[in-house]
A and B are shown apart, each in its own frame.
Chain A
Amino acid sequence: LAKTTQPISMDSYEGQEVNITCSHNNIATNDYITWYQQFPSQGPRFIIQGYKTKVTNEVASLFIPADRKSSTLSLPRVSLSDTAVYYCLVGDISSGSARQLTFGSGTQLTVLP
């Protein structure tokens, strides 16, 4: 099982770029990396997923180095509404067991005015 490690918290100011890194040293060959955003009293919401190199969508970018032992979620120009907990998830559900999926402990991002 890939164990994941994230910073507990981060602060940023509006308009800045924020990078949150997740370490997953023993990631398996078939594992994907997925990031979620969670607001208080809501379920986690899918942000972005990748396998290697760089993935970009309308809200974020995901950088994965060649060794895949870490990944970095990049949020461009954050606003107050980006204040939330961000989780990384490593694993591959097609491997046959949800127990192979490993959630990080989450990073509380606080965006300050």
Chain B
Amino acid sequence: DVKVTQSSRYLVKRTGEKVFLECVQDMDHENMFWYRQDPGLGLRLIYFSYDVKMKEKGDIPEGYSVSREKKERFSLILESASTNQTSMYLCASSPLSHGNTIYFGEGSWLTVV
């Protein structure tokens, strides 16, 4: 089974803090993603990476950055957390093949106070 592991399930951070959300996948997938999920807004793509050190902005990249130094690891960084970044964050991975089978992690609930 594909496993996408997000390091923290629940975090509480203060406004202005730098926040790191870590994600690791064990299937040697080329693609990795960070989504944000909010009630009524569905899944929104923050950033996408198709290879080590490569990244592409998604629909809502403002206030976020990412890092992919190794193929299996994709980190989401909130440089200065704000209350409007309180949300559930989902990491996902997929192989670089025809189709769109994306495998998701369990999610990280971030509360910024």
Contact = CB atoms under 8 A, between A and B. Distances in A.
Partners in one complex: yes
Contacts of B104: 36, 43-45
Contacts of B103: 46
B102 A93 contact: yes
A98 B58 contact: yes
A68 B65 CA distance: 37
B99 A94 contact: yes
A46 B104 CA distance: 8
Contacts of B31: 93, 98
Chain B interface extent, by class? 20 to 34
B23 to A, nearest CB: 11
Given A42-B106, A45-B104, A92 B99 contact: yes
Contacts of A101: 45, 100, 102
B97 A94 contact: yes
B11 interface: no
Interface string A1-44: 00000000000000000000000000000111010100001111
A105 B42 contact: yes
Contacts of B98: 30, 32, 92, 94
Nearest to B95: A93
Contact of A99 (B45, B105, B107, B109): B45
Interface of B: 4, 31, 33, 42-43, 45, 48, 50, 56, 58-59, 88, 90, 92, 94, 96-107, 109
Interface of A: 30-32, 34, 36, 41-46, 49, 87, 89-94, 96-99, 101, 103-106
The 6 closest A-B pairs by CB, nearest first: A43-B104, A98-B48, A32-B99, A103-B43, A93-B100, A44-B104
20 contacts: A30-B98, A32-B100, A41-B88, A41-B109, A43-B4, A44-B90, A45-B104, A49-B100, A49-B101, A92-B100, A93-B99, A93-B100, A94-B97, A94-B98, A94-B99, A98-B33, A99-B48, A103-B42, A104-B42, A106-B42
